[in-house]
Amino acid sequence: MTLQQLVYFLAVARTRHFTRAAEEVRVAQPSLSKQIHALEKELGAELFSRARGNITLTPAGEALLPVASRILSDVDTARLEVAELVGLRRGRVRVGATPSLCGSIFADVIKRYHDAYPGIHVSVTEGGSRDLVQALEAGSLDLALVIVSPVDADRALTVDPVLREELVVASAEPLGVERMALLDLRNHPLVMFRPGYDLRETTLAACRGAGFEPTFAVEGGEMDAVLRFVEVGLGVAIVPSTVLATRALHATPLTPGTSRTVGLAHRTDVAPTSAARAFRNVLMSYLRGAEMPAGVHLVGE
Q: Are residues 179 and 255 in the same domain?
A: yes
Q: Are residues 109 and 184 in the same domain?
A: no
Q: Are residues 222 and 92 in the same domain?
A: no
Q: Are residues 155 and 268 in the same domain?
A: yes
Report residue 226's pLDDT band, with 50, 70 and 90 as the boundaries. Answer: very high
pLDDT tens, position by position, 113-145: 999 989 888 999 998 888 899 899 888 999 999
pLDDT tens, position by position, 177-219: 999 998 999 989 999 998 878 889 888 988 998 899 999 999 9
Show the domain range for 67.
3-72
Q: What are phi and psi of 253, to 5 degrees?
A: -65, 150
Could you tell me if 276 and 265 are in contact, meaning their C-beta atoms sit under 8 angstroms apart?
A: no
Number of domains within the chain: 3
Span of 92-106, 146-160, 236-250, 260-274 with lowest mean pLDDT: 146-160
Q: Are residues 266 and 255 in the same domain?
A: no
Q: Are residues 119 and 253 in the same domain?
A: no
CATH code for the domain of 210: 3.40.190.290
pLDDT tens, position by position, 18-66: 999 999 888 999 999 999 999 999 999 999 988 777 889 999 999 999 9
Residues contacting residue 212 through CB under 8 Å, at least 6 positions apart:
183, 185, 186
SS3 state at 141: coil
Strand partners, 92: 121
How far does Cα 217 stand from its chain's mean position? 26
* Helical packing angle, 129-138 and 198-209, nearest 10°: 130
Q: Are residues 171 and 255 in the same domain?
A: yes
Question: Which amino acid does the sequence have at 237?
Answer: A
Q: Are residues 276 and 252 in the same domain?
A: no
CATH code for the domain of 134: 3.40.190.10
User: Can you tell me the distance from the alpha carbon of 107 to that of 141, in angstroms, rounded to the nearest whole number?
Assistant: 17
Query: What torsion do the CA atoms of 175, 177, 178, 182 make, to the nearest 10 degrees?
Result: -80
Q: What is the CB neighbour count within 10 angstroms for residue 173? A: 9
pLDDT > 90: what percent of the chain? Answer: 50
User: Can you tell me the distance from the alpha carbon of 240 to that of 208, in angstroms, rounded to the nearest whole number?
Assistant: 20
